[in-house]
Amino acid sequence: MEFGSPCSLYDGSPLSKTSGPAGSTTDGEVEQRNPPRPSATFQRFATAAEIAIRLQRRFPGVDAEIIGDFAQAVSINKYSYTDAKKMLSELMTLSTVEQAVVDAIEGEKDKERRKQQERDQRFQEQLEAERQAYDRAARIARESEQLGNTRSSSSSASGSGAVVVVAGSRQSDAVAAALPASAQPPSSSSNDVKTSLIASAGAASGAAAAEALSDKEVILYVTSMTANRQVRTECRLLHQLLYIKRVTFSELDVADNPFLQKYLAKLVAASAPSTSSSSTSSPSVANLPLLFVGEKFVGNLDSCQALEDDGLLMVTLASLGYEHVEKSVELYRQEHQAKLLAMGGLALGGDDDGEAETRY
């Protein structure tokens, strides 16, 4: 092997100390000019680390583990450095879009949560308003009961006429005063019913009250004590029809109340010979429910439903003296509930609670 050949310099083999022409070198000079090269494994990892540092500076938002994978691939010539930068750029773009989508979804969830909180708050406020309305109605009912007891005591002490007050309920004074003055309550406990009746001792005042009643009050006569399922259902349906039309009306339960039954029989007898032109059938006690405007007969369920189908129900009530005042649904519902509570909480229980909603 010749001295100074490329092979002897490349493979790092020791050189013998010889003398030669000018330009020759010693062993120490050769080792200084050509230091030993590192192993292939060490060089590969060193190059990957350097590439990783460069990529991390170029793409600071990418995870370090992903940067390391790309640097390793570049170091073993799986990808070029340019390809690695291009793929990392696309990865950052996709990551940005994905984050934007996630942020948008979270924003929509936050909006929905806020809306739900607002709905819950409104619902709680509505419940509180209804509770206050029911409390006011109950207070009115208690005050009315106390007033009725006071009137009963005063009338009994003065001894003037026969005045009957059933505690625990309240009806229109005009309706009660329109009953016959000669009617006397039986001695049995059947007077303790939901409907209060006041029989006026003066015939003149009773007639005046009846006249006022015929001009102002819409009265629905129903019964809650009957084995006839159809009658109970029709009572609920006619009540529902008037409620939906927002008619201000009083509901009188004739069950187990002989005075109210006699009064209704009197109205039926007076209306039977000349049935009102607005109705389609003659009134009958057995044909409950019956609707009156004061003492003027309107009809039963079928006739009232026929009038409603023709769009004439409210017109007919107005022609008979009813003065309709348009109110909001919430105000009408509160007043109607308060009136029912003040009248003793009349309710027509039955088996077909959903029929009214289905029909109307």
The torsion angles phi and psi of 274, rounded to 5 degrees, stand at -125, 85
Q: Please tell me which of 30-44, 85-99, 165-179, 199-213 the model is most confident about, judged by mean pLDDT.
A: 85-99
CATH of the domain at 231: 3.40.30.10
Instruction: Label residues 132-150 b or e (16+ Cβ within 10 Å = b).
Output: ebeeebeeebeebbeebee
Residue 154 lies in a domain: no
pLDDT of residue 78: 81
> Left, alpha or beta for 274 (phi > 0: left; psi -120 to 50: alpha)?
beta
Residue 141 lies in a domain: no
More confident residue, 27 or 264: 264
Residue 323 lies in a domain: yes
Residue 310 lies in a domain: yes
Residue 276 lies in a domain: yes
pLDDT of residue 237: 92
Report which of 335, 319, 249 is spatially closest to residue 290, judged by C-alpha positions: 249
pLDDT of residue 305: 92
Strand ranges (DSSP E) for 154-258?
218-222, 249-253
pLDDT of residue 143: 80
What does the alpha-carbon distance between residue 74 and residue 80 come to, in Å, rounded to a whole number?
6
Give the pair of three-digit tokens for residue 272.
């039977």
Give the pair of three-digit tokens for residue 49.
């680390």
Instruction: Label residues 258-270 b or e (16+ Cβ within 10 Å = b).
Output: bbbeebbeebbee
pLDDT band with cut points at 50, 70 and 90 for residue 154: low
What does the alpha-carbon distance between residue 28 and residue 32 come to, in Å, rounded to a whole number?
6
The torsion angles phi and psi of 212, rounded to 5 degrees, stand at -65, -35
The reported pTM is: 0.37
Q: What is the DSSP letter of 293?
A: E
pLDDT of residue 307: 92
- Per-residue pLDDT for 347 more than 70? no
CB 186: neighbour CB atoms within 10 A? 9
Residue 132 lies in a domain: no
CB 80: neighbour CB atoms within 10 A? 11
Give the tens place of pLDDT for each residue, 178-210.
Answer: 444 433 444 333 333 333 333 333 333 333 434
Contacts for 351 with CB less than 8 Å, ≥ 6 apart: 229, 232
pLDDT of residue 12: 44
What does the alpha-carbon distance between residue 173 and residue 179 come to, in Å, rounded to a whole number?
10
pLDDT band with cut points at 50, 70 and 90 for residue 216: low
In angstroms, how far apart are the furthest CA atoms of the chain?
160
- Per-residue pLDDT for 127 more than 80? yes
pLDDT band with cut points at 50, 70 and 90 for residue 155: low
In whole numbers, what is the pLDDT of the chain averaged over residues?
A: 67
Strand ranges (DSSP E) for 254-352?
290-293, 296-299
Give the residue numbers spanning the domain of 347.
Answer: 217-359
Residue 299 lies in a domain: yes
Specify the number of domains making up the chain: 1
Structure-derived torsion over alpha carbons of residues 51, 55, 57, 61, reported in degrees to the nearest 10: -150
pLDDT of residue 199: 38
Say how far residue 174 (Cα) sits from the centre of its chain: 40
pLDDT of residue 126: 85
What does the alpha-carbon distance between residue 243 and residue 288 come to, in Å, rounded to a whole number?
18
Q: Using alpha carbons, list the distances in angstroms from residue 192 to 148, 220, 225, 345.
A: 14, 20, 14, 14
Q: Is 335 helix (H, G, I), strand (E, B) or coil?
A: helix
Residue 6 lies in a domain: no
Give the tens place of pLDDT for each residue, 224-279.
Answer: 877 788 888 999 999 999 988 888 888 888 887 788 888 888 888 887 655 444 44
Give the tens place of pLDDT for each residue, 63-112.
Answer: 888 888 888 888 887 877 788 888 888 888 887 777 788 888 888 888 88
What does the alpha-carbon distance between residue 311 and residue 117 come to, in Å, rounded to a whole number?
43
More confident residue, 81 or 291: 291
